[in-house]
Structure 1
Amino acid sequence: MAEERELILKLGKKITDRIPYKLGMEKLTVNDPEYWGLAGVVTDEMAEVALCMDVRKPITLPKLAKKTKKPEAELEKLLQEMAVVGIIEYNWENPQHEKQYILPMYVPGSAEFMVMNKEQVEKHTEVADFFENMSRLPLEKVTPMVPLGGAGIGMHVIPVEKAIPAAQESADVEHISHWLKKYKDKYAIGQCSCRLQQRVRGEGTGDIEGEWCIGVGDMADFLVQTGRGHYVELDEVLELLERAEKMGYVHQITNIDGEDKIFAICNCAVGVCNALRTSQLFNTPNMSRSAYRAHVTKENCVACGRCVEYCPTGAAKLGQKLCTKNGEITYPKQELPDATKWGPEKWSTDYRDKNQINCYETGTAPCKTACPAHVPVQGYVKMAAEGRYMDALKLIKNENPFPAVCGSICNRRCEDACTRGTIDQAVAIDEIKKFIAEQEMHADKRYIPEIVNHLGTGVDLPQKIAIVGGGPAGLSAAFYCRKMGYPVTVFEKESRPGGMLLNGIPSFRLEKNIIDAEIEVLRQMGVTFKCGVEVGKDVTIQQLREEGFKAFYVAIGAQGGRKAGVPGEDADGVKTGVEFLRSVNLDESTKLSGRTVVVGGGNVAVDVARAALRAGSGEVSMFCLESRDIMPAAKDEVAEAEEEGISVNNSWGPKEILTENGKVKAIVFKKCLSVKDADGRFNPQYDENDLMTVECENVLLSIGQSIVWGDLLKGTKVEIRPNGGAIADPVTYQTAEPDIFVGGDVYTGPRFAIDAIAAGKEGFVSMHRFVNPGQSLTLGRNRREFIELDKNNIDVETFDNAKRQIPGTKAGVAKETFRDLRCTLTEEQIKTEAKRCLGCGASVVDENKCIGCGICTTKCEFDAIHLTRDLPDASRMWKSEDKLKAIAPYALKRQFAIKRNKN
């Protein structure tokens, strides 16, 4: 154990805000953060000088020299060293503009300044823990007693200025422009101490430190002279503030110097900010909230969820707009300490995850809930109704970079869940999305997302990311990585990117020009494609590491077919469905002669059967284990196949393939009685006496897909499951090889494009955090769960009674061409169809949790959420020395209220 240093103990006690230690009720020890936070970086000589200073009382060099009995030149040098360490600060705020030194309290103050010395905190990591402790421990008992305005204790939220309604009365101190004008001569920007602290502690939540803090006036000089920042002009400050708003950061000003003074404007990320934590951890928003609160205009709200995603406190959640059979839903509100005893049982220690919950338990719009990517369906449908097609496209691309692709092939889980389907027919959501995407296809310019990150707008980050596999999961991950500014390279073993979109889906369902057009957006964003390169064969993961790649997203899909394991399946004329589709997609002149039997009942099997017909097969039939009611293929796709003359035969499984001279002659099926056992496991049971022989020349086995790894994972620690899929963390997708993440079919097994797209975005989040050391891969990622409203408990009083709109078809005979003959809806049909949406979801704001930052208003595209000045007292700013004057009346009033409640 280190030797106890008395001067450090005395200094720790002097600066602390913890009342028991301040008043001598308890003895400070070497185990307290006030001691060990200082001990590693503050010398006894520094402590001796600091002990000659009064907390927050400025003193000039001559006066301090007199008190310390040190020569001025020697003392001045030592004071500068102390300022660099962070134990003191200085300014020139006196009539003579003479430099004066201040011993600050811990927070905001010395603990913060000590962390802002980046080199120091990385060497003495305990300083990061010290800052975390001293921004929390002194507040644990006092926060319930703090009135609106924060009582001069810490930081104060200041709203996004454009969110303040012009028609409302407001105070100057509520406007960032007021403070920028007041300190117009001097600004400096520097590292965010909270982000830096959490990064060093390994608890970052993906908000990288960067230069987010703006020092004003003399603080700007202090930051520059101690190596903590650099001067900037007003236009740079405005750019920083705008960029912070784009990224969803909350503006806060220092709140310890009274009405007329601040020393910094911060742009705070809730997952790491110590100041915002006071309202989240302790559930005591008075500490930081502004004079404003957000309110939703329900009739305008479309439950797109953007306000929910960006709300720093979890005040905004998705609910429903429709009445239940018992009337309108009343949503719960966060309890406040105004008239209640408050302690740890009232805290939310898991607030970083708890505040990421999307929905109230009563649920929200089923379309958004059912979509694997949780695309804001209700939002883009409303925009389509208004003719705002480009806005709708941008809204979609927040969650799905490939709306045109999905408009052609999505399995429409949103429509299956649509509330309108309980009345007549679901809204034609996919057709609306397809129309929106097509408008961009015809536009002179495509929408190219803006790059925004902690270094700037349009700025590239240094960490290179490799995407292995150019299918929907890999391309989605590439899109979001590039949108953040990472240099991204996609390695694709085929000659063109697209994966199974390109090679596994026939053109009559998804035209290749659609895939190419949406991939072209990635190229314009700056994504590099290296095609004809098979990782593991042409280049190894290790070689790519040596080239500077810091993370790998492996999403090669399930590109291999599966055999049935029956006699005769090696005969000439037997292929897997995947193999056949690949050959057709590469060369549409591929021919099949004779009769074809397709074994399988999924969407891929339907594609195989329809492609076989177009390849010249005279007769095509499908056989699958499942009965018609549980057949996995989409009903509309099965209907289209039958319209083309393909026969669909249910409840039959292959027994053997009959051959003659090595070629297929026929296939024998046995009756399937059940597909799964009582526990839901795949375990088909057959009647071996009930057989059917079908003569044919071709058998296409579409009963599953396999993952063809090759040598991709050679030399890595990635583990593979018995079924061939990669083992990875279910939240982060990180494998046993820390820099390798997986997604799409290689993790989940064969699914749909929209599942892969959703996985790709989560893969991006993990890689973004991974390549920035100190970021937790899991904290604050509780965004996946959505709850569907109870469609059996709604009361729909009025609705547009138009029938579901049906798209037309182009001239031609479907079974004779590989072209997609499906048309999109007309613009008139789109507007008619969009009005059929019941608009069942809406955001709901808990006013007790709202801190009035206004970020939600900047994300809303529907004029549905606004700030109102409900709490004018929250704009009162106090000096730290006067905090008891602010706290005492409120604390007394609260105590009376608690007693009344007891009685």
Structure 2
Amino acid sequence: MDKERKLILKLGQKVTNRIGHKVTVDDPEYWGLASVLTDEMAGIALSMKVRKPMTAEQIAKKNKIDLRHTKEVLHEMCVIGVLEFNRENEDHHKQYVLPMFVPGSAEFMNMNREQTEKHPEVAKFFYDMSLLPLVKVAPMVPPGGAGVGMHVIPVEKAIPSAQESVSIEHISHWLDKYNGQYAVGDCSCRRSRRIMGEGCGHLEEDMCIGLGDMAEYLVETGKGRYIDRDEVMEILQRAEDNGLVHQITNIDGEDKIFAICNCCVCSCYGLRTSQLFNTPNLSRSAYIAKVDPENCVACGQCVEYCPAGAVKLGQKLCSKDGAVEYPRQELPDAVKWGPEKWNDSYRDDNQMNCYDTGTSPCKANCPAHIAVQGYIKMASEGRYLDALKLIKKENPFPAVCGSICNHRCEDACTRGTVDQAVSIDEIKKFIAMQELNSKTRYIPPMINQTGKPFTEKIAVIGAGPAGMSCAFYLAQKGYPVTVFEKNKKPGGMLEYGIPRFRLEKDVLAAEIDVLRAMGVRFECGVEIGKDITLDNLRADGYQAFYAAIGCQGGRYANVSGEDAKGVWTGVDFLHQVNQDESTKLDGRTVVIGGGNVAIDVARSAVRAGSFAVSLYCLEGRDIMPAAKEEQEEAMKEGVAIHNGWGPKEVLIEEGTVKGIILKKCISVFDEKGHFDPKYDENDLITVECENILMSIGQSIQWGGLMDGSAVEFGRGDGAVADPLTYQTNQPDVFVGGDVYTGPKFAIDAIAAGKEGAISIHRFVHEGQSLTIGRNRREFRELDKENLQIPKESYDKPPRQNVTYRAGIDPKSTFDDTRVPFTEEQLKAETSRCLGCGASVVDPNRCIGCGVCTTKCEFDAIHLNREIPDASHMARSEDKIKEVLPYAMKRQIRIIRNKRKETS
């Protein structure tokens, strides 16, 4: 064990913020300083008073050392971060200051990147010293923070002009005060978290703005660079775009701050003071957000960005028992407060989206949780481009999904309990028609925290919906992304597995063009594992891989004769037809399978010329997995659907199909709901045919893609990965879509692609956790059976139905004969939405940052100045006298409450 260094120990005791604590060598006050300070430096610091400026001459004289050497040591101490300096005197001479640990030397020491990476204990030192001094005092602090740490300052445009405000509540006031004296440096909190392996994906570079003397300090000690006001405003705007909170230092009273920080709750130690201890007084501004339910459409943008978890989704409609009462966070105003009241998991809990009572079923049931009510409202107002932008926050392919989605949102629609569900997909399809015109399509701008593109190369393998979704969101964040696709065209099953009568290929091509415009590069005709390997790509600088090759292989039924000529898998048949619509099927066709793919196969067989198409499936009509409307379309086109039959044997004549024997299925699932079909082997039928199309499942064709990797495979040969992050046992390989879940729908794959992009962003930056502070995207729907729905809210036109192009026999063409809504139909249909969800603010959690107001596009959430005392800024030296009166009043309230409880 190293020898105890008495000067370091003494200095740690001198500077600590912990009142009444005796510092030992086991405390961060000691080992944090001991790692970087010499005894000479400690001696010089001990000759100074905390937060009392001294010139180099005064320090040299007091320590009886050479002035030149003193200046050299003082400069080195400033570089280390244990000292700061200012020129707050008449002659503007440089004065050195021994700051507190936080905000002060512990933070400044973390600003020195090389030092913190060489001495990682410095990162933990800052973590501890921003926490330990507040353990006992946190519940006693009055609004405004009483000179403790940092203080939220609202987004300036969020401050209502109609309400009285004071100058110090405005960022512009502080920028004017320090006119031109600006510098920017890295975020110490995020650096500390990164070094500890607890980064949240919010990066540290160029986030903290130093003002006045702090600007000079940052530049002179190599911790920052000078910037002008335009760049200050650009940084602030970028912070708001990324949902970061503005905070100012709060230890020098109302006449001085030294920094404006742009903070995230998942890393910031300043915001931790209120969130961990559940004591918002330590951070909050004078403002509290409030929702106007009439304008709110539960789009969830305010919820997603609220740093304090104060806004969650609830319902707008009353229950049958009256208005829903939402829980409020308990505050320490009149109760004893200890660790049992803290929230150690605040970084994750603040990402919860929804109250237990639930919210709009459309958003809750959509796998991508698109803001359905939001884009319906925008469409009703003619704001089609805004609606398109809102959809693309969660789904890069609205036009594709408008054509093929299995619309779980619509199936869950509250309106369906009244008469018929809102035709959500047709509304989305109308909005997404903007994508077909290059002049009106929406190409998202790059939005990331740095304001410049990243250099880390990412490879996406597979250009299906999951892969392209991942590429979209990575490109939007500024990454160079290359998508490798073994087929000649991108799109995956969207291109090769879905017939054009359901998804016109110009619709798909238009949305893929958006990705190209965003900078995504497509390399088609390249099979990874055959033409090139993952190791080749690693050698070429690719730092992460998203494998989303889908389930592009078909499955056979494992019955006798299925290797005969005339037997196809449904997947192979669709691939052939989508490549060449002139493909012909002569004679009679039997399709085996009951899902949407089987329906597509059957309808394509009709168009390929088969004069009799029959579909046989195990399930009864009531439980067929194919969508009801798809079944109806097929029957209209002459497809005969037979339920309760499975294949037993393919009949062959001279190597060619001549028929199939089917056996009666008496049950499909076991008592636990698992697929386990049972048959009556004596109940058989024979169906004569010339073609059999097996559409009973899909398989993954890995090829050599994962050769030599640590990726494991599970059920159905799917990749094994973490269910939240999609990371495999090969750390740089992530998976998504059907290779992970098995065959599902495009919207499921799209949602997985976005999550993959989030994980990859975190992975390629050292020290970032894949899970901390991550939105779990968990929603629950409200109780539709317990709603009080006023008649006037549903006394609207009936549901608008899809129409078809006149004079065209759909069996004769692969064209999509469905006609999109007219604008009149759109207006009528959007008016049918009940608007059943809304955002709800817990005022006891709100810290008044105003970030929520910047995300709302419906003028539904505003700041109100309800706590004017929170704008009182005190000097650190006065914190005891600031805290004491409030603490005494609080103690009296606690005693009174106890008496009430016992009486």
TM superposition score normalised by structure 1: 0.99
Q: Which amino acid aligns with 2:602?
A: A
Q: Which amino acid aligns with 1:844?
A: V
- Following superposition, the deviation at residue 455 of structure 1 comes to 2.1
Q: Which amino acid aligns with 1:674?
A: S
- Following superposition, the deviation at residue 443 of structure 1 comes to 5.7
Alignment correspondent of 1:97: 92
Deviation string 1:146-185 (CA, Å, 9 cap, x unpaired) is: 0001000110000000000111110000000000000013
Assess if the C-alpha contact under 8 Å between 1:390 and 1:440 holds in 2: no
- Following superposition, the deviation at residue 781 of structure 1 comes to 2.2
Is 1:708 matched with 2:704? no
Deviation string 1:713-758 (CA, Å, 9 cap, x unpaired) is: 1111111114210011111111110000000000000000000000
Assess if the C-alpha contact under 8 Å between 2:435 and 2:510 holds in 1: no
- Out of 880, 887, 892, the position equivalent to 1:896 is 892
Deviation string 1:594-629 (CA, Å, 9 cap, x unpaired) is: 000000000000000000000000100000000011
- Out of 254, 259, 274, the position equivalent to 2:254 is 259
- Out of 292, 308, 314, the position equivalent to 2:303 is 308
Alignment correspondent of 1:602: 595
Alignment correspondent of 1:10: 10
- Out of 863, 870, 881, the position equivalent to 2:877 is 881
SS at match of 1:241: helix
Deviation string 1:7-62 (CA, Å, 9 cap, x unpaired) is: 110000000011122xxxxx321110101111110110100000000000111111
Assess if the C-alpha contact under 8 Å between 2:484 and 2:526 holds in 1: yes
Alignment correspondent of 1:24: none
SS at match of 1:658: strand
Within 2, Cα distance between the matches of 1:638 and 1:557? 25
Alignment correspondent of 2:657: 664
Is 1:81 matched with 2:76? yes
Alignment correspondent of 2:538: 545
Assess if the C-alpha contact under 8 Å between 1:595 and 1:618 holds in 2: yes
Deviation string 1:471-526 (CA, Å, 9 cap, x unpaired) is: 00000000000000000000000111000000000000001101100000000000
Is 1:794 matched with 2:790? no
Alignment correspondent of 1:692: 685
Assess if the C-alpha contact under 8 Å between 1:560 and 1:708 holds in 2: yes
Assess if the C-alpha contact under 8 Å between 1:155 and 1:288 holds in 2: yes
Assess if the C-alpha contact under 8 Å between 2:435 and 2:511 holds in 1: no
Assess if the C-alpha contact under 8 Å between 2:434 and 2:440 holds in 1: no
Alignment correspondent of 2:555: 562
Is 1:407 matched with 2:435? no
| Residue ranges of structure 2 left out of the alignment (5+ in a row) | none
Alignment correspondent of 2:294: 299
- Out of 760, 770, 788, the position equivalent to 1:767 is 760
Pairwise mapping of residues 821-860 of structure 1 onto structure 2 (< 5 A)? 821-860=817-856
Alignment correspondent of 1:744: 737
Alignment correspondent of 1:216: 211
| Residue ranges of structure 1 left out of the alignment (5+ in a row) | 22-26
Alignment correspondent of 1:734: 727
Identity %: 67
Deviation string 1:821-868 (CA, Å, 9 cap, x unpaired) is: 001111111111001000000000000000000000000000000001
Is 1:227 matched with 2:222? yes
Alignment correspondent of 2:121: 126
Within 2, Cα distance between the matches of 1:787 and 1:693? 48
- Following superposition, the deviation at residue 439 of structure 1 comes to 2.8
Q: Which amino acid aligns with 1:546?
A: A
Pairwise mapping of residues 124-163 of structure 1 onto structure 2 (< 5 A)? 124-163=119-158
Within 2, Cα distance between the matches of 1:211 and 1:7? 35
Q: Which amino acid aligns with 1:461?
A: F
Pairwise mapping of residues 411-422 of structure 1 onto structure 2 (< 5 A)? 411-422=406-417
Deviation string 1:636-695 (CA, Å, 9 cap, x unpaired) is: 000000011100000101010101000001101110000011111111011111111100
SS at match of 1:19: coil
Assess if the C-alpha contact under 8 Å between 1:211 and 1:454 holds in 2: no
Is 1:497 matched with 2:490? yes
- Give the length in aligned residue pairs: 896
SS at match of 1:59: coil
Alignment correspondent of 1:467: 460
Within 2, Cα distance between the matches of 1:740 and 1:56? 51
Is 1:648 matched with 2:641? yes
Alignment correspondent of 2:391: 396
Is 1:387 matched with 2:357? no
Within 1, Cα distance between the matches of 2:756 and 2:435? 27
Alignment correspondent of 1:326: 321
Is 1:617 matched with 2:610? yes
- Following superposition, the deviation at residue 71 of structure 1 comes to 1.2
SS at match of 2:886: helix
Pairwise mapping of residues 234-249 of structure 1 onto structure 2 (< 5 A)? 234-249=229-244
Q: Which amino acid aligns with 1:815?
A: K
Within 2, Cα distance between the matches of 1:722 and 1:897? 60
Within 2, Cα distance between the matches of 1:537 and 1:185? 59
Is 1:169 matched with 2:164? yes
SS at match of 1:339: coil
Within 2, Cα distance between the matches of 1:177 and 1:694? 81
Within 2, Cα distance between the matches of 1:649 and 1:404? 33
Assess if the C-alpha contact under 8 Å between 1:61 and 1:76 holds in 2: yes
Within 2, Cα distance between the matches of 1:226 and 1:430? 58
Alignment correspondent of 1:725: 718
Within 1, Cα distance between the matches of 2:65 and 2:95? 16
Q: Which amino acid aligns with 1:664?
A: V
- Out of 862, 869, 882, the position equivalent to 2:865 is 869
- Following superposition, the deviation at residue 806 of structure 1 comes to 1.1
Pairwise mapping of residues 444-593 of structure 1 onto structure 2 (< 5 A)? 444-456=439-451, 459-593=452-586
Q: Which amino acid aligns with 1:834?
A: T
Alignment correspondent of 2:272: 277
Assess if the C-alpha contact under 8 Å between 1:132 and 1:197 holds in 2: yes
Deviation string 1:300-324 (CA, Å, 9 cap, x unpaired) is: 0000000000000000000000110
Within 2, Cα distance between the matches of 1:20 and 1:753? 61
Query: Higher mean Cα deviation, 718-727 or 555-564?
Result: 718-727
Within 2, Cα distance between the matches of 1:522 and 1:722? 33
- Following superposition, the deviation at residue 440 of structure 1 comes to 3.5
- Following superposition, the deviation at residue 782 of structure 1 comes to 4.0
- Out of 75, 85, 108, the position equivalent to 1:113 is 108
Q: Which amino acid aligns with 1:475?
A: M
Is 1:42 matched with 2:65? no
Pairwise mapping of residues 52-63 of structure 1 onto structure 2 (< 5 A)? 52-63=47-58
Within 1, Cα distance between the matches of 2:26 and 2:146? 30
Q: Which amino acid aligns with 1:20?
A: G
Q: Which amino acid aligns with 1:404?
A: A
SS at match of 1:630: coil
Is 1:372 matched with 2:388? no
Deviation string 1:208-252 (CA, Å, 9 cap, x unpaired) is: 111100000111000000000000011000000000000000000
Deviation string 1:554-573 (CA, Å, 9 cap, x unpaired) is: 00000000000000000000
- Following superposition, the deviation at residue 190 of structure 1 comes to 0.5
Assess if the C-alpha contact under 8 Å between 2:650 and 2:661 holds in 1: yes
- Out of 437, 440, 449, the position equivalent to 1:442 is 437
Assess if the C-alpha contact under 8 Å between 1:153 and 1:255 holds in 2: yes
SS at match of 2:804: coil
